[in-house]
């Protein structure tokens, strides 16, 4: 193997690492790790797993992504929506959180996600996810955030899910953490800025708040011996690094978990690639969707081998990484090493780590996911988009997370199909004194009694052929002088076989009524198609004109007066 080929096997960013970028990456990696450690433990709890597994999801997977991924700044690890979907899928299997079978199920899901993402990479199916529209994703994310917050209320309040009576010490601790975390966002930033601390530092320092709050709550719990007063804590758990496991594979369970794994894979991929694209644009870098599928697939395989749940590129965490100045994936490796250090050292703290503090960390982390802005904007711009968003949101919150997403997907496709199935048609006429042709309903134009110019504002395909036929029939009726019907095809980008048959039927049916069908402004690719179809021969004496103007010049008999003539005679 030649030296240059070997060099190619190394990721691009290694070749670009320099002194300054190294320093930037070190700082960004540190800040992201400080955020990830408490969040990772909290997300593991959300997924019904021991907190240590949340840290494990932040060690091997981001290192694998760093080597393979095409994004320089994507922070891969445990994410909230995937954690929720894992808990949802395993609860649906009748398992109990924390059981060995539950943990094995989470590992199986990570393995399935790895397989699905790698298969998608192999089949180059990344684009499939573009069928999840922005409003549907917005409704899904908002709905998932609401479900997550609701799921975290019992640990926050110290109540069982059966009765909703809060436990006073837990409630005080939980609300205290929540309040401190809320204050650490914009209020703290404003304060730091007023104190004359630099803009960047004012933005980054609050990122340490979750870690400080969790450490503080743990200290308080230990000092006041709160577990003796009924405050739930994580408890004794051995620390250490993940040791490679091979998950036992159960064919039946693989089949049962497959639908959930597909949803987790698609949503993880969409979340990862969207944030990767946004960040790449800012520095003129490119994201390769196939590389992303491959890298995320391998990262999930890494999660499975580490014995933990599926991972993805997190939206908020990647932005923190980017804003902290990350230049390359070296920052991701720094984060992973620091998280590994935390996994080695922090286990003794778990004995007094209160669940309420972790619940507060999750709630504050997912609160910004509730996206009212998109709802407001779609409401103004396109009610159908709002409908898709709302159906997804309420489906996720009230019915089922996966069914809600599916309902939104189906509804948004149905709306699109319905609209293309009911295209806009316009009778057009000439703006007097010009060769411009416009809709007779919008402009004062001249038309002719022997000639009908009909513009089709859609590609013709099976779902709208009936509309076309009915519309021609309607416009032809009660016009005894009519001789020529010209279909203006400037907006027809494609014609399928059903549409071709309909055009042939129109030629024949109009012919029996003594009318001739013509076409005008047919696009190149459509014309190529029609040439091979035999339609043009059947249309005889009908013709294909370059423009409506040419059609009028060749077809209109001057002895027939214009029907509506505003300009010249």
Q: Does residue 135 belong to the site contacting a copy of itself (CB under 8 A)?
A: yes
3-class SS of residue 456: strand
CA distance 238 to 369: 33
Residue in 62, 332, 408, 423 binding a copy of itself, rule: CB under 8 A: 423
- Which of 194, 380 has the CB closer to a copy of itself? 380
Q: Within positions 172 to 191, which residues make up the interface with a copy of itself, using CB under 8 A?
A: none
Q: Toward a copy of itself, which CB reaches closer, 14 or 417? A: 417
Two tokens, residue 112: 């399935």
Residue 190 or 474 with smaller CB distance to a copy of itself: 474
User: Closest approach of Cβ 298 to a copy of itself, in Å?
Assistant: 23
CB 427 within 8 A of CB 461: no
For a copy of itself, the binding residue among 212, 222, 337, 413 (CB under 8 A) is 413
By CB under 8 A, residue 525 contacts a copy of itself = yes
Angle between helices 168-183 and 355-366 (to 10 degrees): 40
Asked if 132 interacts with a copy of itself (CB under 8 A), we say: yes
Q: Does 473 bind a copy of itself (CB under 8 A)?
A: yes
Q: Given the rule CB under 8 A, which of 112-120, 233-241, 329-337, 415-423 is the region that contacts a copy of itself?
A: 415-423
The CB-of-246 to a copy of itself minimum distance in angstroms stands at 37
Per CB under 8 A, the segment of 80-88, 304-312, 319-327, 506-514 that binds a copy of itself is 506-514
CA distance 472 to 469: 5
By CB under 8 A, residue 141 contacts a copy of itself: no
- What is the Cα–Cα distance from 137 to 325, expressed in whole angstroms? 28
Residues 529-548 close enough to bind a copy of itself by CB under 8 A: 529, 532-533
Residues in contact with a copy of itself, shown as a per-residue x/- string from 355 to 384 under the rule CB under 8 A: -------------------x--xx-xxx-x
Max distance between CA atoms of the chain, in angstroms, equals 103
Give which of 110, 114, 97 is closest to 306, Cα–Cα.
110
73 touches a copy of itself by CB under 8 A: no
Q: What does the block give as tokens for 5?
A: 């080929």
Interface with a copy of itself includes 124 (CB under 8 A)? no
Residue 381: burial class (beta carbons within 10 Å; 0-12, 13-18, 19+)? exposed
Cα–Cα distance for residue pair 566/553, rounded to 1 Å: 18
Supply the minimum distance, in Å, between the C-beta of residue 66 and a copy of itself.
24
Q: Of these, 133, 184, 272, 328, which contacts a copy of itself (CB under 8 A)? A: 133
* Cα separation, 288 vs 275, whole angstroms: 13
Number of shown-chain residues binding a copy of itself (CB under 8 A): 66
Could you tell me if 114 and 308 are in contact, meaning their C-beta atoms sit under 8 angstroms apart?
no
Q: Of residues 150, 225, 345, 505, which one binds a copy of itself by CB under 8 A?
A: 505
Choose, by CB under 8 A, the member of 416, 432, 449, 538 that binds a copy of itself: 416
Comparing CB distances to a copy of itself, the nearer of 529 and 556 is 529
- Residue 496 makes contact with a copy of itself by CB under 8 A: yes
Q: Can residue 323 be called a binding residue for a copy of itself (CB under 8 A)?
A: no
Which lies closer to a copy of itself via its Cβ, residue 133 or residue 265?
133
Nearest residue to 147 via CA among 374, 410, 366, 313: 366
Cis before 541 (ω within 30): yes
| Binding region for a copy of itself (CB under 8 A) out of 126-134, 227-235, 319-327, 551-559 | 126-134
Can you point out the beta strands (E) in 408-550? 425-430, 437-439, 447-448, 451-456, 484-488, 516-520, 544-545
Kindly calculate the radius of gyration of the chain based on its CA atoms and give it in whole angstroms.
31
Tell me which H or E stretch contains 564: strand 562-564
Give the nearest distance from C-beta 442 to a copy of itself in angstroms. 6
Site for a copy of itself in 271-310 (CB under 8 A): 277-278, 281-282, 284, 286
**Least distance from a copy of itself to the Cβ atom of residue 453, Å:** 16
H or E segment at 313?
Answer: strand 312-313
Q: How far is CA 119 from CA 20, 124, 252, 536, in A?
A: 39, 8, 20, 45
Q: Which stretch binds a copy of itself (CB under 8 A): 17-25, 142-150, 253-261, 505-513?
A: 505-513
DSSP class of 431: P
Residue length of the chain: 569
Q: Quick one: which of 159, 447, 449, 498 contacts a copy of itself (CB under 8 A)?
A: 498
Does 475 help bind a copy of itself (rule: CB under 8 A)?
A: no
> What single string gives the DSSP state of each residue in 118-184?
HHHHHTT-GGGGGGS-HHHHHHHHHHHHHHHHHHHHHHHHT--SSS----HHHHHHHHHHHHHHHHT
Helix or strand (DSSP H, E) at 76 = strand 76-77
Residue of 149, 294, 304, 463 that binds a copy of itself (CB under 8 A) = 463
Q: In a 3-state reduction of DSSP, which class is residue 545?
A: strand
Binding region for a copy of itself (CB under 8 A): 127, 130-136, 277-278, 281-282, 284, 286, 374, 377-378, 380-382, 384-385, 412-413, 416-417, 419-424, 439, 442, 457-459, 461-467, 469, 473, 477, 490-491, 493-494, 496-498, 500-501, 505, 509, 512-513, 523-525, 529, 532-533
């Amino acid at each position: 193997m030649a030296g240059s080929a070997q060099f190619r096997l190394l990721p691009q960013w290694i070749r670009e690492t320099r002194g300054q970028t190294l320093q930037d990456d070190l700082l960004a990696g540190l800040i992201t790790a400080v955020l990830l450690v408490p969040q990772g433990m909290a997300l593991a709890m959300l997924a019904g797993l021991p907190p240590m597994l949340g840290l494990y999801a932040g060690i091997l997977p981001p290192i694998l992504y760093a080597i393979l991924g095409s994004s320089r700044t994507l922070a891969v690890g445990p994410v909230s929506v995937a954690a929720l979907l894992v808990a949802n899928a395993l609860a649906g299997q009748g398992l109990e959180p924390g059981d060995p079978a539950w943990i094995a199920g989470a590992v199986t899901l990570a393995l399935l996600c790895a397989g699905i993402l790698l298969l998608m990479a192999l089949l180059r199916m990344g684009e499939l996810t573009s069928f999840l529209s922005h409003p549907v994703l917005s409704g899904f994310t908002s709905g998932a955030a609401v479900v997550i917050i609701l799921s975290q209320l019992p640990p926050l309040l110290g109540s069982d899910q059966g009765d909703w009576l809060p436990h006073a010490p837990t409630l005080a601790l939980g609300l205290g953490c929540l309040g401190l975390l809320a204050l650490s966002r914009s209020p703290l930033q404003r304060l730091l800025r007023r104190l004359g601390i630099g803009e960047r530092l004012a933005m980054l320092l609050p990122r340490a708040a979750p870690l400080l709050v969790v450490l503080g709550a743990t200290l308080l719990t230990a000092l006041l011996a709160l577990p003796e007063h009924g405050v739930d804590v994580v408890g004794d758990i051995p620390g250490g690094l993940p040791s490679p496991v091979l998950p036992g594979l159960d064919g039946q369970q693989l089949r049962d978990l497959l639908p959930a794994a597909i949803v987790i894979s698609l949503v993880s991929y969409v979340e990862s690639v969207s944030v990767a694209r946004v960040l790449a644009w800012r520095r003129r870098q490119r994201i390769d969707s196939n590389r992303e599928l491959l890298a995320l697939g391998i990262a999930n395989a890494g999660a499975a081998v580490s014995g933990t749940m599926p991972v993805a590129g997190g939206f908020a965490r990647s932005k923190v990484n980017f804003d902290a100045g990350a230049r390359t994936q070296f920052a991701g490796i720094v984060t992973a090493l620091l998280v590994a250090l935390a996994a080695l050292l922090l286990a003794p703290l778990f004995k007094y780590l209160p669940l309420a503090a972790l619940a507060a960390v999750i709630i504050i982390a997912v609160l910004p996911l509730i996206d009212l802005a998109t709802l407001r904007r779609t409401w103004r711009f396109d009610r159908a988009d709002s409908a898709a968003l709302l159906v997804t949101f309420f489906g996720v919150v009230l019915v089922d997370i996966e069914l809600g997403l599916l309902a939104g997907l189906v509804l948004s496709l149905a709306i699109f199909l319905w609209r293309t199935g009911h295209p806009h048609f316009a009778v057009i006429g000439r703006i007097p004194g010009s060769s411009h042709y416009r809709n007779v309903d919008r402009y004062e134009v001249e038309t002719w009694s022997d000639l009908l110019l009909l513009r089709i504002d859609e590609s013709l395909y099976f779902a709208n052929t009936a509309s076309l036929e009915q519309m021609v029939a309607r416009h032809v009726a009660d016009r005894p002088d009519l001789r020529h019907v010209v279909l203006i095809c400037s907006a027809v980008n494609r014609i399928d076989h059903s549409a071709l048959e309909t055009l042939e039927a129109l030629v024949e049916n109009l012919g029996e009524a003594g009318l001739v069908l013509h076409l005008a402004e047919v696009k190149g690719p459509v014309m190529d198609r029609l040439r091979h179809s035999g339609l043009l021969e059947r249309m005889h004496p009908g013709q294909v004109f370059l423009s409506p103007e040419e059609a009028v010049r060749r077809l209109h008999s001057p002895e027939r007066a214009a029907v509506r003539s505003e300009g010249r005679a």
